[in-house]
Amino acid sequence: MSHVFPRHTKVRPPVARRGDGAYIIDAEGRRYLDGSGGAAVSCLGHSDPEVIAAIQAQAEQLAFAHTGFFTSEPAETLADRLIAHAPEGIEKVYFVSGGSEAVEAALKLARQYFLEIGEPARHRVIARRQSYHGNTLGALATGGNAWRREPFAPLMIETSHISPCYDYRGRAEGESAEDYGQRVANELEAELLRLGPETVLAFVAEPVVGATLGAVPPVPGYFRRIREICDAHGILLILDEVMCGMGRTGTLFACEQDGVRPDIITIAKGLGAGYQPIGAMLCSGAIYGAIEGGSGFFQHGHTYSGHPTACAAATVVVDKLTGGGLTDRARTMGETLDAALRAAFGQHPHVGDIRGRGMFRGLELVADRDTKEPFAPDRAIHKAVKRAAFEAGLICYPMGGTIDGLRGDHILLAPPFILTEAQVEELVGKLSTALDAAL
């Protein structure tokens, strides 16, 4: 009997034993093509020798030193690398161990910032319906995914949710993409006015929505309008790039493509590429300056913040993504993947939409392609596709749910950037087998 407390208690998953590039091999010797990088984590594949060597070297040199006593060379180097590539105005990096921790740090920093500058009434957060920002209580409160929130709602901080920017289901007939973007962005202003803008800390959103909607990019101009509204009411813009950041969409930070300048960015997943658990919260010089010139102490912290071994691994990851050209490869191979998906499923009766950027692609599965009618929720089509794909030797990330009538069964693809053209074909072929078996 296993003593591991698993995600699902009624099914025992195979034992993962070895990584080989884009594949995971189980204890029985079965090979699985990692079409989703787990959950958009493994951007370099599973056996990168340079990252492994960096971990080994750092562990021999110094595995851990508590940030209450020391900074470390790997943390300093990684912060320099990230800031060299970060959007304008972002100046400081606060290290954590994963995505939820990064979001918690962002929320607490936003709150402390307003306390430091003498605006203590600001305590509310606005995010979007059908969003996911992590599973710890603050991050869970921020997310707008009803199923995940419901059991824990009494424990959570005060948040409210506006519509996502979800072109496929949200845009009205005859409405231009730009007009749609302005309309849904303006919901932020309406919600601010309803709450009283002086009570709100921040608006939180993923630039390209991952887990809950399946690689949905914003329409042009959406985030520019969001930024204007944040500025007009003095609230912070927190962009959650835990899933879509670190080269996944074809630029190191996804928000670069939307010409938006956030106050805080959260990253994780691809930062450690699965080799080490690491995340980070990046903030503007203005926010940092308020703390530096005020109390001088951010009232937060975790034991493993800035873990030297994790930072050493992530530095190699960032170097490979930037100087090593892997972010460019995510863009170009992502286009190859998109073309292959469109060729295979563009006319599929149950594929309503194919979308995404770079190596971050989503398929929305529908009962009727012409009317966009979703599958009945009790069919749990996304789970059936995940199971059938796994049987065919492909890992893909499923999600389904209904919020405000936005029912979605979708499949998220986020493969390693090292994928070859032959592996793109293998991925699409196995997905096709899975769709045939499940639909």
**In the bound complex, what is the minimum distance in angstroms from residue 342's beta carbon to ligand PLP?**
25
Indicate the residue among 268 and 310 with the shorter CB distance to ligand PLP.
Answer: 268
Cβ-contact 327, 321 below 8 angstroms: yes
Q: CB of 192: closest distance to ligand PLP in angstroms?
A: 23
Q: Does 103 bind ligand PLP (CB under 6 A)?
A: yes
Instruction: Tell me, by CB under 6 A, how many residues bind ligand PLP.
Output: 15
Q: Does 210 bind ligand PLP (CB under 6 A)?
A: yes
**132 is a site residue for ligand PLP (CB under 6 A):** yes
Question: Is 243 a binder of ligand PLP (CB under 6 A)?
Answer: yes
Q: Which residue among 184, 255, 260, 268 contacts ligand PLP (CB under 6 A)?
A: 268
Contact flag: residue 134 with ligand PLP (CB under 6 A): yes
Identify whether the C-beta of residue 312 lies closer than 8 Å to the C-beta of residue 53.
Answer: no
CB of 213 to ligand PLP, least distance (A): 11
- Binder of ligand PLP out of 104, 206, 258, 364 (CB under 6 A): 206
Q: Pick out residues in 285-324 that bind ligand PLP (CB under 6 A).
A: none
Select the residue interacting with ligand PLP from 165, 184, 208, 242 (CB under 6 A): 242
Min dist CB 179 to ligand PLP, Å, is 27
d(CA 285, CA 161): 28
Q: Does 104 contact ligand PLP by CB under 6 A? A: no
Q: Which is nearer to ligand PLP, 191 or 206 (CB)?
A: 206
Q: Are 394 and 427 in contact (CB under 8 A)?
A: yes
Q: Is 128 in the site for ligand PLP (CB under 6 A)?
A: no
Q: Rg (Cα) of the chain, in Å, rounded?
A: 21
In angstroms, what is the minimal distance from the CB of 39 to ligand PLP? 5
Residue 59 binds to ligand PLP (criterion: CB under 6 A): no
* 332 C-beta neighbours (distance < 10 Å), count: 14
In this complex, which beta carbon is closest to ligand PLP, that of residue 413 or of residue 435?
A: 413
Minimum distance, C-beta of residue 126 to ligand PLP, in the bound complex (Å): 16
Nearest distance from C-beta of residue 281 to ligand PLP, angstroms: 11
Instruction: List, in order, residues 6 or more apart from 384 with CB less than 8 Å away.
Output: 438, 439
Distances from the Cα of 11 to the Cαs of 14, 34, 295, 387, in angstroms?
A: 10, 20, 50, 12
Q: Which of 57, 97, 85 is nearest to 269 (CA)?
A: 97
Report the residue from 36, 42, 58, 100 that binds ligand PLP according to the rule CB under 6 A.
100
- Considering only 211, 235, 271, 395, the residue that binds ligand PLP (CB under 6 A) is 211
Stretch that binds ligand PLP, among 94-102, 248-256, 336-344, 369-377 (CB under 6 A): 94-102
Q: Residue from 21, 25, 26, 39 that binds ligand PLP (CB under 6 A)? A: 39
CB of 220 to ligand PLP, least distance (A): 22
List of long-range contacts for 353-356, beta carbons under 8 Å, 24+ apart? 353/168, 355/168, 355/214, 355/215, 355/216, 355/217, 356/208, 356/214, 356/215, 356/216, 356/217, 356/249, 356/413
- Which range of residues in 99-107, 187-195, 376-384, 393-401 is near ligand PLP by CB under 6 A? 99-107
- Residues 324-353, interacting with ligand PLP (CB under 6 A): none
Identify which of residues 72 and 145 has a Cβ nearer to ligand PLP in the complex.
Answer: 145
Binding of ligand PLP by 356 (CB under 6 A): no
Q: Which stretch binds ligand PLP (CB under 6 A): 78-86, 96-104, 372-380, 399-407?
A: 96-104
> Which range binds ligand PLP by CB under 6 A, 82-90, 166-174, 215-223, 240-248?
240-248
| List of residues contacting ligand PLP (CB under 6 A) | 39, 98-100, 103, 132-134, 206, 210-211, 240, 242-243, 268
